[in-house]
Amino acid sequence: MSNLDSAILLAERMADSARPITLGYFRGDLVVEDKADASPVTVADRDVEAAMRQLIESMFPDHGIYGEEHGQVRLDAEYVWVLDPIDGTKSFITGKPLFGTLIALLRDGKPVLGVIDMPALDERWVGAENRPTTFNGRIVETRRRGDLAHAWLCATSPHMFVGGDADAFERLRIQCRDAIYGADCYAYGLIANGTVDVVCEASTQPYDYCAVVPVITGAGGVATDWQGKALGLSSDGRVLAAGDPNLHASAMAALE
């Protein structure tokens, strides 16, 4: 068994362990705290990440970990796991099922494995380097749609774009068929399934986007920053993903 095979098994085990914890708190009586950046956090976020980190430490104690809730260790390691226990905490808090657990593995700074797990929907995407992306075990592919005028565009919120980023997003939005908001990480999975064409976001962190890269590329799409550069721990938080490489190029031009 290859290192990547072992990592995939661990990633799915981590997602499996996260689900009952997350769902045990979902639509319950949660205490919501505000972090230093004013974003919300709950005990569910912390418990899920703690469980996933424990599994990594038990199987790959030499691997690094970059987590949203419990910090960073061994970031100079060849392999680094990037964890978002609940992507879409606002959705989670308000009872909306479009929240997910994001698990990524980077090798020398490059995302080589990604899992998008949607606990409340019982849906999961798994993407890995040089392998086809699967959705609940079935291989999926993006759709080819090179014309922005027919493209469905998604972003978590129009409020994530500030200053010049807001102007750039508006240039892209008006060229697309329509814009849909509020899907969080789910929108990236829908690109892999071929029902969404473009996701454009800003003000994000590595744990928000690293896992989506292998999922989208393994389905035939492209996921980069707004300048077409590879996404990693040092990216600027602007993400552009598309199911069609030509559409990605057109979207990038619109953002300029």
User: What mean pLDDT value characterizes the chain?
Assistant: 96
Residue 231 has pLDDT above 90, yes or no: yes
Whether residue 63 is found in the same domain as residue 156: no
Q: Which domain holds residue 218?
A: 148-255
Report CA 43 to chain centroid distance, whole Å.
21
Q: What is the CATH number of the domain that holds 22?
A: 3.30.540.10
**How much is the CA Rg of the chain, to the nearest whole Å?**
17
Among residues 229, 255, 239, the alpha carbon closest in space to that of 175 is found at: 255
Domain boundary pick from 108, 139, 170: 139
- Give me the number of domains the chain comprises: 2
pLDDT for position 163:
96
Whether the CB-CB separation of 149 and 176 falls below 8 Å is answered with: yes
Whether residue 163 is found in the same domain as residue 231: yes
Whether residue 106 is found in the same domain as residue 172: no
pLDDT in tens, 150-198: 999 999 999 999 999 999 999 999 999 999 999 999 999 999 999 999 9
Whether residue 58 is found in the same domain as residue 184: no
Whether residue 158 is found in the same domain as residue 58: no
pLDDT in tens, 215-227: 999 999 999 999 9
Pairing of strands 239-242, 198-201: antiparallel
Whether the CB-CB separation of 97 and 121 falls below 8 Å is answered with: yes
With a CB cutoff of 8 Å and minimum separation 6, the contacts of 2 are: none
Report CA 13 to chain centroid distance, whole Å.
18
Domain boundary pick from 87, 110, 139: 139
pLDDT for position 103:
98
Whether residue 8 is found in the same domain as residue 130: yes
pLDDT for position 51:
97
Band (pLDDT 50/70/90 cuts) for residue 26 is very high
Whether residue 50 is found in the same domain as residue 100: yes
Whether residue 134 is found in the same domain as residue 160: no
Whether residue 157 is found in the same domain as residue 229: yes
Domain boundary pick from 111, 139, 167: 139
Whether the CB-CB separation of 208 and 251 falls below 8 Å is answered with: no
Band (pLDDT 50/70/90 cuts) for residue 34 is confident
Band (pLDDT 50/70/90 cuts) for residue 36 is confident
Whether residue 36 is found in the same domain as residue 104: yes
Whether residue 182 is found in the same domain as residue 241: yes
Whether residue 203 is found in the same domain as residue 118: no
Report CA 205 to chain centroid distance, whole Å.
10
pLDDT for position 39:
86
Q: What is the CATH number of the domain that holds 185?
A: 3.40.190.80
State in Å, rounded, how far the first CA of the chain is from the last one: 45
Residue 1 has pLDDT above 80, yes or no: no
Higher pLDDT, 94 or 38: 94
* Burial bucket for residue 129 (CB in 10 Å: 0-12, 13-18, 19+): middle
Longest CA–CA separation in the chain, Å: 49
- Over range 32-56, report the average pLDDT: 92
pLDDT for position 30:
87
